[in-house]
Amino acid sequence: MALYLIGDVQGCDEPLGRLLDRIDFSASRDTLVLLGDLVNRGPASAAVLRRVQRLGASASSLLGNHDLHLLGVAHGVRRRGRKDTMAAVLDAPDAAAMLDWLRHQHMALHRSVAGADLLMVHAGVLPQWSVGDVRARADEVESVLRGPALGDFLQTMYGDEPAQWSDALTGSARLRVIVNALTRLRFCSAEGVMEFDTKDSAGAPPAGFMPWFDVPGRRTAAASVAFGHWSTLGWLSRPDLLSTDTGCVWGGCLSAVRIGATLQQRELIQVDCPQAQRPG
C-alpha cells in the first residue's frame, strides 16, 4: 500500500489520467491525497471531479482557493471570472453531486508516518499554529462547509482582513483568516501578518515579508508540511517541506510524490502537461 500526494490539477484531466497510470494507482491498494485546486483554468474540471469521485474512499482532496471559488459561484455569491473554466461543472446534469462531494472535502489533513507528522494543506500555515492548531482550525471551516449555513459562510468568506490571526477572533472574521491561511498564503511577516498581492517565487518576497515556511520559530517546523498553490515556487523537497505545484495548467508538469516507509523516503513522479493557459 502506497501513499501518493498530487499537486494542483486545475482541470487538467488528461495529464491526471496519465499520471495515475504511470504510478499504477490501485484504489484497492493505495491512498491518494490531492492537495487542492482540482478545478478551474484547465479544460476539463468536471472530468477531474468525476475521476476522483470514482476512486471512492481511496482518494481525498484538500480544498484550494479555486475549489472554494467554484462553490461561491455555484451559490451565487461570486461572479464567474474571465479566465474561469468551470461551466462544464456548473451546467452538468450531475452538478449537484459534484458540488456536494466537493464541499465534503478537507481544509487540512494529517497523517503519522513512522511516528512523524505529515501535515497536508493547500497553501500554507501561520507560524503561530501548531499541527494540532491547524487540524482544529480546519475542522472549524469544514463543519460550516458541510452544514446548512454554507451559503451564508460563502457570502462572508472573501476579503484580505483580518490579515493576522488572533485567538480572540470570532465569527466570519475568524473563519476568513483560517481560509486565507490554508488556501491563499505565500508570504507573511515574522509576526504572521499575511500578504496576498505577491505571487512571485520565494526568492522575491515583498519588503518586510518572507515565505511562510521560512518564518523563524514556525511551530510546524518539526512536521513535514506538503502543499501546492505556488506554481512559481515549483518542486521543493526538504525535511520539513514538500511543495508540489509544478504548473501543470501553465504547461509545466503534474507531479505526484510517493511517500515511503518514512517521510524522508520520497519519490517524485511527473508527467508533462500541454499548455492550457497562460499565466496572468
* Domains of the chain (ranges, CATH numbers): 3-272 (3.60.21.10)
Mean residue pLDDT of the chain comes to: 96
Binning pLDDT at 50, 70 and 90, where does residue 100 land? very high
> What percent of the chain shows pLDDT beyond 70?
98
Question: Which grid coordinates belong to 234?
Answer: 515549483
Is the confidence at residue 1, as pLDDT, over 90?
Answer: no
Q: Which amino acid is at 53?
A: Q
Distance between CA atoms of residues 266 and 243, nearest Å = 12
Is 255 within 8 Å of 7 (Cβ atoms)?
A: yes
Is the confidence at residue 83, as pLDDT, over 60?
Answer: yes
The confidence score (pLDDT) of residue 278 equals 43
Is 181 within 8 Å of 174 (Cβ atoms)?
A: no
The stretch 128-150 carries a mean pLDDT of 98
Is the confidence at residue 275, as pLDDT, over 90?
Answer: no
The stretch 196-202 carries a mean pLDDT of 93
Distance between CA atoms of residues 182 and 111, nearest Å = 17
Is the confidence at residue 168, as pLDDT, over 70?
Answer: yes
Binning pLDDT at 50, 70 and 90, where does residue 11 land? very high
User: b/e map of 74-101 (b: 16 or more CB within 10 Å)?
Assistant: bbebbeeeeebbbebbbebeeeeebbee
Residues 26-66 pLDDT 10s: 999 999 999 999 999 999 999 999 999 999 999 999 999 99
Is the confidence at residue 277, as pLDDT, over 90?
Answer: no
Is the confidence at residue 276, as pLDDT, over 60?
Answer: no
**Any idea which residue has 482544529 for its cell?**
136
Question: Which grid coordinates belong to 202?
Answer: 520565494
Is the confidence at residue 186, as pLDDT, over 80?
Answer: yes
